[in-house]
Every structure is written in C-alpha cells, then in structure tokens.
Amino acid sequence: MIVLKFGGTSVENCEKIDRVLDIANSQIDRAPVLVFSAMGKTTNKIEDIIEHAVIGDRDKANILVDQIKEMHLKTAGEFLSGGILASTQADINDLISQLSSLVKGLSLLHECSPRSRDALLSFGELLSTRIIASRAMERGIKTELIDARSFLITDENFNAAIPLLDKIDEAIGEKVFPEPLKLIVTQGFISSTENGVTTTLGRGGSDYSSTLIGSSLSAQEVQIWTDVDGIMTSDPRYVKGAKTINSITYSEAGELAFFGAKVVHPATIQPAVRQQIPVLVKNTLNPEGPGTSILPVVDDRGVKAITGKRDITVVSITSSKMLNAYGFLKNIFTIFDRYKTPVDLISTSEVSVSMTIENPEHVDNIVRELEEMGTASVEYKKAIICLVGQELWKDSVFVSRVFGSLNGTPIRMISLGASDTNLSIVVPENKLNETIQSLHDEFF
C-alpha cells in the first residue's frame, strides 16, 4: 500500500481536487490511503476567527465563519449532484453549525484554551475531506472516508500533540484496511487523545500524519504532494535560481525541515525512518516531474540545500567562574529545562556561552536566573542560516567558500553539526534573505 498526502493549495478548488483525484486514481491498484489538509488557507482563517472571537468581535468572527461555509458549499455545488450533493451539503452545514457554536462560546468567555483551539482548527480538515470523498464517489470511485481521530491517538499536549505509536498501530490495525481499487480518504493534522478529545499535531502537521500512517501500515512509499517541484536547494519564494534536489537522505531532510524549510513538517521524517519508508515529494501541478526522493542512504556529498529560520533569540552568559569549572553548563541547562525552553544552537568559549531559542516566552525569567551565575544578555531579531549536505567537512575549501560569500554580514554564532550534515550560522534577521541568496549563488 502507499500513502499520498495533499497540501492545502493542492485542494483549494474543484479543478485542483479533480486533478488530485486523477493522481490518486492512477495509482489505485497500489491500495492508496489519501491524507488531506484543509482547503487553501482555511486553517489560517480559523486562526483569525479565534483571534476575533476572544476579543469579543463576534461580528467579524461570524463573517469569517460564513466565508468558510460559502467556500465549501460553493465547491460542493460545483462538482457534486443529486443525493451525494444533498448529503454533503447537510454535513457541511452540520460542521459549520458546530464551528459556530464553539465560536460563540469563545466570544462569551473571551478566552481560547489550547484544547478549544484544536477543536476549532480541526474543522478545516473535516470539511475538506468530506467534500473530496464525495467527489471521488461522484466520479464512481470506490471510496471510504475514515475520521483520523479514530486511529491517530496522541497525548494531551494540545496544539502540538505527541503521537502514541503503540496505540496508533493498534487502532490503525483495527480500522484502516487499504486495498487495491479503493481510495481511503482521511484528514491530516488532526488527531485525538485516548479519551476521544480532538488534538492537532501542530501547524503544517499533515505531512507528519502521512508518515505516521505510512509507518503503521508498513507502506511501500509515502508521497507528499505540494505546490513546488519537490525539495529545492532553497525556498523558491525568496531565492532566485532554486533548483529541485533529486534525492536526499533522511538526516539531511530532517535538518532542512527543522531549520525552516516549510516544504515538510520537521517531525515528518521520524516515522519514515522507523520503517525505512521512502518519501517522495512531488508537485500536484507537475505530476510528471521527478520530484525529490527522501531515502535512508544517498551516495553523494557537499552542500545540498540552504535554509533559514527567522525570529531567533540569542541568550548569552559570560562568567569568569566558568574558567576551569565543571558543572557550569549543567547549571545553565537546568534553567532552560525548568522553563521548558529548548535550546537549538550553542557555542561556547572558556568564559561565555551563547544559545539560540525559538520561544522567548520565559526569557526574562531565564535571564534573571542566569544573572546569578554571571552576566547574562538577550538579543532578539536574529536568524539561523543552515547549510545542509553530507560530509561537508571533507571539503577543505567549504568553510572558506561560506565565509567568502557573506559580503560583510556579521556572524553572531557558528555551529558545526556533529552529524557532519550541517553548518549553522546566526545572523541579523534583516540580513537573512540577501545572505542566503549570496550563499546560494556561490554553491549552486
């Protein structure tokens, strides 16, 4: 069997949904499970609804709910007919009235808990899959719509839930039976606790859903269908001359995703590694194109892609007590640990340590505690640039080429991945795009 995942832009209207069903139908003898995101920018719109509802702006929230309703009803009306259209319209109306009730609750309470947020965000995928499954049936394709919350079981960490793999294996074994000549349709991104409370895997999490499902079903392949020709040497929205990469290893793809390449969600690779499943990234608008294969092993070396991550905060501590002392780093990390703040990059000298964090929510408390050990400081508006590739250090001129292309951009930190697959540098955020472009011009 295989898993195919389609992102929001791939299903944003009737024409695109039909195109996606053509792609799936052409592989129907491989027992496909189809995983869908919400249509277009629906999830962003639900986030807007939440923002308006919690400040009590119920009118604006209702206008946005109506827009979501109209868009889905219009899509259904354009390519469904008869009884299928009627039952799909009834289901859309039912989902929208559930959404409206939740929005009403938020605007009365002026508050949205993480748990409510997940309940609201789930409607994008529930609506899209209802329509897509109906369209497949209308086209005469044998189709089964399965609610992902019946098998994608997670913990209660709302907004970024952690999958419980054993429970998922068990539930999928009981509920999901792929077979040739049948399309199974399900939602990406949404999941549920053991008690049936809706959770989500975090924004962009449909990619992760697809490899979780693929891994539980021992899929031959997971295909991630998106709006670009695969994983590229850099984000084509910002970098001129970005090219598609033919093949990339799990660890390279993992580093790229972690350091900002939105094309796959950072957690996507782990489940694929578990069963050594190849992941193919392809373009819905160019299905003939080769796309990118993410594989356990690829025989090459050198820089393969450059990515960037904005909104990085650097926390530093300088202390002469560090000199020749042990236990110092442990004390520093205990503080970050206490505030549940992950550190991404770190660079040290004899008397100072600098660390990058993504979430500065607790930074004031962290700095206050660090001050007890030395002089601490915080710098905002930094960015990480990550060069990814295998055996980067075997190329003796690699580092000099990197530094030679910086054109005066100041480097705040540098970190060499122990895995040999990445070099990360921290630069001012306002220099991010131009620095990536000049590194890209140098290496590609």
The full length of the chain comes to: 444
d(CA 368, CA 405): 38
Measured torsion, CA atoms of residues 392, 393, 396, 400, in degrees rounded to the nearest 10: 70
CB 187, min distance to ligand ASP, A? 9
**Phi, psi torsion values for 376, nearest 5 degrees:** -110, 150
Interaction between residue 262 and ligand ADP (CB under 6 A)? yes
Q: Considering the rule CB under 6 A, would residue 269 count as an interface residue with ligand ADP?
A: no
* Smallest distance from Mg ion to CB 161, Å: 17
d(CA 64, CA 42): 10
**Among Mg ion, ligand ADP, ligand ASP, none, what does residue 234 contact (CB within 5–8 Å per kind)?**
ligand ADP
DSSP helix/strand/coil, 240: coil
Region binding ligand ADP by CB under 6 A among candidate stretches 98-106, 152-160, 179-187, 230-238? 230-238
Nearer to ligand ASP, 178 or 266 (CB): 266
User: What whole-number distance in Å separates Cα of residue 411 and Cα of residue 276?
Assistant: 37
7/230 with CB nearer Mg ion:
7
> Do β-strands 198-200 and 190-193 pair in parallel, antiparallel, or remain unpaired?
antiparallel
What residue 316 binds from ligand ASP, ligand ADP, Mg ion, none (CB within 5 to 8 A, per partner kind)?
none
**Euclidean distance between CA atoms 441 and 412, whole angstroms:** 22
Task: Please state the closest distance from residue 37 (CB atom) to ligand ASP, in A.
Answer: 3
**DSSP string for 210-239:** HHHHHHHTT-SEEEEEESSSSSBSS-TTT-
How far is the C-alpha of 93 from the C-alpha of 101, rounded, in Å? 12
Q: Which one, 7 or 374, has the nearer CB to Mg ion?
A: 7
What's the half-sphere exposure (Cβ side, CA atoms, 13 Å) at 232? 18
Residue 9 site contact among ligand ASP, Mg ion, ligand ADP, none (CB < 5 to 8 Å, cut-off depends on kind)? ligand ADP
**254 touching ligand ASP, by CB under 6 A:** no
219: left (phi over 0), alpha (psi -120 to 50) or beta: beta
Q: Is 8 in the site for ligand ADP (CB under 6 A)?
A: yes
- How many residues contact ligand ADP, by CB under 6 A? 20
Instruction: Report whether 385 contacts 308 (CB < 8 A).
Output: yes
* Inter-residue contact 33 to 213 (CB < 8 Å): yes
Identify what 178 binds: ligand ADP, Mg ion, ligand ASP, none; CB under 5 to 8 Å per kind. none
Least separation in angstroms between CB 361 and ligand ADP: 24
Asked if 261 interacts with ligand ADP (CB under 6 A), we say: yes
129: which 2 tokens?
């899959």
Interaction between residue 228 and ligand ADP (CB under 6 A)? yes
Which of 231, 277, 294, 384 is in the footprint of ligand ADP by CB under 6 A? 231
- Among residues 88 and 226, whose Cβ is nearest to ligand ADP? 226
> What sign for the dihedral angle of Cα 423, 424, 428, 432?
positive
- Between CA 68 and CA 45 the distance in angstroms is 8
Residue 240 within binding range of ligand ADP, rule CB under 6 A: no
- Residues 41-60, mask of contacts with ligand ASP (x by CB under 6 A): --x-----------------
- Min dist CB 293 to ligand ADP, Å, is 14
Question: Which position among 40, 124, 163, 204 is part of the footprint of Mg ion (CB under 5 A)?
Answer: 204
Closest CA to 300 of 405, 235, 394, 416: 394
Q: Return residues touching ligand ASP (CB under 6 A).
A: 7-8, 37-38, 43, 124, 188-189, 203-206
Q: Return residues touching ligand ADP (CB under 6 A).
A: 7-10, 37, 204, 226-228, 231-232, 234-237, 261-263, 305, 307
Q: Return residues touching Mg ion (CB under 5 A).
A: 7, 204
